[in-house]
Amino acid sequence: MTTTEWRQPPADVAAKRAEILAEIAGTTLMSVYAETAEAHGDSEAHRWQDASGGWQSLNYRQVREKVRHAALGLRAIGLRPGEFAVIWSRNRSEATIADYAVMHARGIPVFLYNTLAPEQAAYITGHCAATVAIVEDREYLAKLLSVRDQLPALREIVLIDGQQDGTRGWEDVLALGRADDERDPGLFDATWQQVTLDDLVTLIYTSGTTGQPKGVMLTQRSVRAYQVAVDQILPSELRSDLEGDLRIVTYLPMAHVTGRSVDHWGPMTIPTTLWYCPDHLKVIEVAAQARPTLMFGIPRVWEKLHSALRAGMAAFGLPVEPEAVAGLPAEVKQAILARPGLDACRIASTGSAPIDPAIIEFFRALGVPLTEGWGMTELSNAATLAAPDRARVGTVGTLLPGMEARIADDGEILIRGPLVMSGYYKDPERTAEAVDPDGWMHTGDIGELDADGYLKITDRKKELIITSGGKNISPALVEYQLQRHPLIGQACAIGDRRNYLSALLVLDTESVSAWAAENGIEAASPGELAADPRLLAEIDQAVTEANSHLARVEQVRRYKVLPDEWTSATGELTPTLKKRRRVIVERYAQEIDDLYA
């Protein structure tokens, strides 16, 4: 593949890359965490609400002591170096501690999305051959136990809340570790200090167009390089308030690279207070109390805030257009932002899906320095961003230091540098498709670089659906589940830049004819049957059944049964009978809009 653009002088990139690699040499997340906890032991690390609604907290010294005991406890129940441990939990202090503990025990933590169906959790747990599972409560435990017979490598299940036969209690694991620590006080340090930059930090499973998730391998080197590169653009003093405090509301899934990078790995290097929000629908409610200094929100969060703030401002007779908002007195802006807790926000960012530039302009006019970044799991999180005073609305910033970008002839963005993944776990074929022999990551996104090196994303080469909530969804998996029903011949999942999934369905001609005959419906064409209430009731059951095998974000909420079959002759299919998604979306634009009306 030839390339047409390359904005970075090779010598400059090489020098910056060498500087970053020299800075991280001899370090790991565990070594920098030891330094952070030692220097900031009394700093508040975790805050969460208890059952009564009161806030509880732990400082850095207390958290690291729990990490110490949990790591040794996991070691005591049989977690061995290089083995995987899955964690299935909402955002809470124990989940963070479990993540750290597995790493310190020289294991590899793998988080599962909260919304996964049992068979999806089984696939990931089985694919990495996890030997330990740490689950939050009986809800997740029941799902895991329903597929336990598919997981021969799984030896131990640790239950954070409660007790149940066949599992280990979280407090019991901590007690085992505490006892081992008393017997051998040097064991904890001797264990984690064997971790090197070449070791895996995690596997993060990301959806693929084939339907099966891919386990992205991120190493200590790629994660540490990312941290140093980001710090050169957004140093800690830019993320903190005037007193030097950095606060984050942690609500993003820990199975997502941004959640792990910002909420878990970041506080290992920079003292941060994590305010836990187990229910993402309450993020603004928690933010109002936390007053975060750093706020990452998927587009859907900013969209909702934008609508709510505009409505409130209009009700008080205040202007809502960015140009006029910018002219409001500072005290008025602060009062507006205080309600959702954004009056202390120093860094605000969005990513994972496109966002309307007008929303960014609105928040910047109010004084929230909202910027856009771009990246992917395979690049250790963001590969481009910009400091607030250098951001350009409509772009996703510039490359992180030490990284290179090329634009291929077909417009695809290629990225090279220390942030690129090690590959897909147990999948050399798809690894070779993604990363070429020269080390260039083929991102699947289409973009343009301007003369100053700012990147603009213009399209997506890959077929993944990215909802307005930032969820990556494989349409192939959704369509497979829908098409398992004999009456559904073809399905096209819709949802890119939308806040939920819908689907266009085409009936299977032969099956529908047989169904009609069995139900005494004569001389009805597939087109007529597409509107028949009796058949639509059958389709409704089919969609419900398909949804039962899908994660919540993958489930189809609305659908339209079309009267005509898709063929290569009519243009919806290729000669090899693959769907031409763009043709389908354009041809049925009105039907799709109706599904979101």
DSSP one-letter string for 515-542: HHHHTT--S--HHHHTT-HHHHHHHHHH
Which residues, listed in sequence order, are joined to residue 215 by a DSSP beta bridge? 205
Q: C-alpha distances in angstroms, 219 versus 26, 67, 258, 382?
A: 14, 20, 15, 16
Find out whether 162 and 185 touch, Cβ atoms under 8 Å: no
Enumerate residues 6+ apart whose C-beta is below 8 A from 331: none
Q: Is the pLDDT of residue 561 over 90?
A: yes
Q: Is the confidence at residue 3, as pLDDT, over 70?
A: no
Above 90 in pLDDT, residue 280?
no
Taking residues 88-108, report their average pLDDT.
Answer: 98
Query: According to the model, what pLDDT value does residue 410 have?
Result: 85
Summarize pLDDT for 350-379 with one digit per residue, the tens. Answer: 987 778 888 999 999 999 999 999 999 999
The SS3 assignment for 290 reads helix
Q: What is the mean pLDDT of the chain?
A: 92
Could you give the residue range(s) of every CATH 3.40.50.12780 domain in the chain? Answer: 1-28+220-246+293-462, 32-195
Overall average pLDDT of the 243-261 stretch: 95
Residue 2 pLDDT greater than 60, yes or no = no
Rounded average pLDDT over 469-495: 88
Q: H/E/C letters for each residue in 300-357?
A: HHHHHHHHHHHHHHHHCCCCCCHHHHCCCCHHHHHHHHHCCCCCCCCEEEECCCCCCH
Q: What is the CATH number of domain 32-195?
A: 3.40.50.12780
Q: Which of 19-28, 197-206, 455-464, 507-516 is predicted least confidently?
A: 455-464
292-318: burial string, b at 16+ Cβ within 10 Å, e else? bbbbbbbbbbbbbbbeebbeebeeeee
Write the pLDDT tens digit of every residue in 300-315: 789 889 988 988 999 9
Would you give the distance in Å from CA 158 to the centre of its chain? 24
Whether pLDDT at 437 is above 70: yes
pLDDT by residue (tens digit) across 544-558?
Answer: 999 999 999 999 999
The CATH superfamily assigned to 474-595 is: ANL, C-terminal domain (3.30.300.30)
In this prediction, residue 581 has a pLDDT band, given cuts at 50, 70 and 90, of: confident
Tell whether the model's pLDDT for residue 130 goes beyond 50.
Answer: yes
Six-digit token string for 93: 């202090």
The CA-based angle 95-100-102, given to 5 degrees, is: 95
- CA dist., res. 46 & res. 463, Å (int): 38
Residue 96: φ, ψ to 5°: -65, -45
Residue 210 has pLDDT above 70, yes or no: no
1-28+220-246+293-462 topology per CATH: Rossmann fold (3.40.50)
Q: Which residues pair with 214 in a beta bridge?
A: 206
The more confidently predicted of residues 516 and 41 is 41
Question: What would the mean pLDDT of 224-243 be, rounded to a whole number?
Answer: 94
Closest CA to 408 of 474, 466, 459: 459
Taking residue 540's Cβ as centre, other Cβ atoms within 10 Å add up to 12
Q: Residues, the chain, total?
A: 597
pLDDT band for position 464 (50/70/90)?
confident
pLDDT of residue 8: 59
Indicate the pLDDT class of residue 106, thresholds 50, 70 and 90: very high
Question: What's the alpha-carbon Rg for the chain, to the nearest Å?
Answer: 25
Question: The dihedral of CA 101, 103, 107, 109: what is its sign?
Answer: positive
**Cβ(565)–Cβ(509) under 8 Å?**
yes
